[in-house]
């Protein structure tokens, strides 16, 4: 039991609990515009989770805030997309990295937390050093993984900094069952513990905010706000003539459906592949016309499903592209695919904002939920039932009659309100209100 990580982890855990109970340091100047962001996934990582905290770093100076980010170590393999993302972070932002300690046996009897307790202990130790040398400010933890929430709660209790919890996705109320986050009873208790301590809780959709309020009776509704994800117009600024390696455009008769983003627990391609396969079975003409592009990261499970798709000649798999090139692709295809099963009806995937900004029709595969409501209300695309094969077949067979969405005033207004800079400044306004009201 005392070998490997066991004894050090027990010792570190005991030190944390002792610090919280006996070494509490009262915050003497909570009005400083200093933000410590705990975001385990960060550039040059290119997962969808990194764009939200990066936007805060980009626009903090405009709101007169100083930002430090505490995140995991640099991935062993970095892509051009990751390097591009990292280059967008202002030089004055402090980035502090912690090595991943999740490998090896879990320390016996210590609580299991999403993201790993040993990572939480390492982040806590690094954060302590930062907080001792920086002016008192605000702690913001973004999850998943949710060990960030636990660490920020420990730190807030010791140093009395205002605590903000940012739910990019849900924790124990997550609708996903396949290893996305830990949501057992232990994590449920930890989530309630963190929510009790929070001074502000941020959600990305109104559905998630209302669900949390209904699920956690002790959660103060006044503390709960929505700051959506968004898009950045600068990503569309690259010249349209720039070639993209690996992408081809066939004859005008080709109908190209593109999915951009990660394929994994939140986006299972199998139902769409099954429906598309049946449509191609019954239509030789569509077999000559349809091209399905999957652009982005793909989990091993998703890759396995794509590899056995019957019509490989209609499938094009492309690695993750830098955001500006991805936006160029969005403008060059015929449909942009959203996979919309019931499990994500409380979610708005970040890609939807860029999809709509591109002007290309959005093809929502699955009815209901926040994303389908947005596309419908803006007349920005087509929604088909994921359980009715004929609906997708009708769309593809009548492609020439489909109307591309115009740059209507309604869409323009919606897009303007969801630009990353607008949303980031809105969040900092909420933080300004928080520190003004915080009692020393």
The domain that holds 321 is classified in CATH as 3.40.50.2000
203 and 238 fall within a common domain = no
87 and 141 fall within a common domain = yes
284 and 223 fall within a common domain = no
Enter the tokens of residue 18. 């002792």
35 and 142 fall within a common domain = yes
65 and 211 fall within a common domain = yes
End-to-end Cα separation, the chain, in angstroms: 43
99 and 128 fall within a common domain = yes
- Asked if 83 and 51 count as a contact pair (C-beta separation under 8 A), the reply is no
Q: What is the pLDDT along the chain (440 residues), one digit of tens a residue?
A: 445 446 678 788 888 888 888 776 765 555 579 999 999 999 998 887 899 999 999 999 999 999 999 999 988 888 877 888 898 899 999 999 999 988 777 777 788 999 999 999 999 999 998 888 777 899 999 999 999 999 999 999 998 899 999 999 999 999 987 667 999 999 999 999 999 999 999 999 999 999 999 999 999 999 999 999 999 998 888 634 455 544 544 546 789 999 999 898 888 999 999 999 999 999 999 999 999 999 998 999 999 999 999 999 999 999 888 888 899 999 999 999 999 999 999 999 999 999 999 999 999 999 999 999 999 999 999 999 999 989 999 999 988 755 555 558 899 999 999 999 999 999 999 999 999 887 55
Interatomic CA distance for residues 404 and 406, integer angstroms: 6
**Residue 48 belongs to a domain:** yes
240 and 192 fall within a common domain = no
**Residue 9 belongs to a domain:** no
195 and 264 fall within a common domain = no
**The pLDDT value given to residue 6:** 63
**Residue 3 belongs to a domain:** no
Instruction: Give the number of domains in the chain.
Output: 2
Interatomic CA distance for residues 119 and 104, integer angstroms: 12
Interatomic CA distance for residues 176 and 165, integer angstroms: 21
**Residue 424 belongs to a domain:** yes
**The pLDDT value given to residue 394:** 94
Q: What pTM, to 2 d.p., does this model score?
A: 0.90
**The pLDDT value given to residue 239:** 38
61 and 134 fall within a common domain = yes
DSSP letter at 419 equals B
**Residue 392 belongs to a domain:** yes
Interatomic CA distance for residues 46 and 54, integer angstroms: 11
Residue that the structure tokens 């009815």 belong to: 367
- Asked if 358 and 248 count as a contact pair (C-beta separation under 8 A), the reply is no
**Residue 240 belongs to a domain:** yes
**Residue 17 belongs to a domain:** no
34 and 109 fall within a common domain = yes
Residue that the structure tokens 């996903």 belong to: 176
Enter the tokens of residue 192. 């309630």
Range of the domain at 104: 22-230+419-437
Please report which residue ranges of 198-321 form alpha helices under DSSP H: 206-215, 270-282, 284-289, 300-307
90 and 215 fall within a common domain = yes
330 and 392 fall within a common domain = yes
Report the alpha-carbon angle 292-297-299, nearest 5.
100
**Residue 12 belongs to a domain:** no
DSSP letter at 101 equals -
Interatomic CA distance for residues 165 and 144, integer angstroms: 11
Interatomic CA distance for residues 370 and 390, integer angstroms: 24
DSSP letter at 264 equals B
Rg of the Cα trace of the chain? Answer: 23
Question: C-alpha dihedral over 337, 342, 347, 350, to 10 degrees?
Answer: -10
Closest listed residue to residue 13, CA positions, set 139, 102, 109: 109
């Amino acid at each position: 039991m005392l070998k490997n990580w066991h004894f050090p982890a027990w010792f570190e855990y005991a030190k944390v609990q002792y610090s919280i109970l006996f070494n509490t340091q009262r915050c003497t100047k909570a009005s400083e515009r200093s933000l410590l962001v705990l975001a385990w996934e960060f550039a040059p990582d290119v997962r969808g989770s990194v764009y939200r905290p990066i936007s805060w770093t980009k626009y903090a100076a405009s709101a007169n805030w100083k930002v430090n980010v505490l995140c995991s170590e640099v991935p062993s393999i970095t892509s051009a997309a990751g390097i591009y993302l990292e280059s967008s972070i202002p030089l004055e932002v402090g980035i502090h990295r912690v090595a991943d300690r999740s490998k090896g046996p879990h320390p016996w009897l210590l609580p299991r937390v999403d993201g790993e307790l040993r990572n939480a202990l390492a982040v806590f130790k690094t954060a302590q050093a930062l907080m001792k040398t920086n002016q008192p400010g605000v702690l913001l933890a973004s999850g998943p993984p949710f060990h960030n929430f636990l660490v920020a709660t420990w730190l807030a209790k010791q140093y009395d900094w205002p605590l903000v919890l940012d739910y990019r996705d849900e924790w124990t109320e997550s609708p996903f069952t396949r290893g996305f986050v830990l949501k057992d009873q232990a994590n449920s208790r930890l989530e309630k513990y963190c929510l009790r301590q929070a001074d502000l809780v941020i959600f990305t959709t109104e559905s998630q905010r209302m669900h949390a309020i209904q699920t956690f009776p002790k959660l103060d509704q006044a503390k709960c706000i929505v700051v959506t994800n968004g898009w950045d117009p600068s990503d569309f600024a690259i010249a349209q003539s720039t070639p993209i390696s690996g992408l081809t455009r066939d004859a005008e008769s080709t109908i190209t459906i593109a999915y951009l983003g990660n394929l994994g627990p939140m986006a299972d391609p199998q139902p769409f592949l099954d429906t598309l396969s049946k449509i191609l079975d019954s239509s030789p003409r569509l077999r000559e016309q349809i091209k399905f592009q999957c652009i982005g990261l793909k989990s091993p499970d998703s890759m396995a499903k794509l590899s056995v798709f019957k019509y490989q000649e209609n499938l094009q798999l492309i690695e993750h592209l830098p955001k500006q090139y991805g936006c160029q692709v969005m403008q060059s295809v015929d449909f942009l695919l959203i996979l919309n099963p019931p499990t994500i009806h409380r979610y708005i995937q970040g890609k939807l904002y860029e999809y709509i900004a591109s002007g290309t029709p959005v093809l929502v595969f699955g009815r209901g939920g926040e994303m389908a409501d947005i596309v419908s209300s803006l007349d920005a695309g087509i929604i088909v039932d994921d359980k009715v094969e004929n609906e997708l077949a009708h769309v593809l067979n009548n492609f020439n009659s489909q109307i591309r969405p115009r740059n209507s005033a309604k869409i323009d207004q919606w897009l303007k309100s969801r630009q990353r800079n607008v949303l980031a400044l809105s969040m900092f306004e909420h933080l300004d209100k928080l520190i003004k009201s915080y009692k020393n």
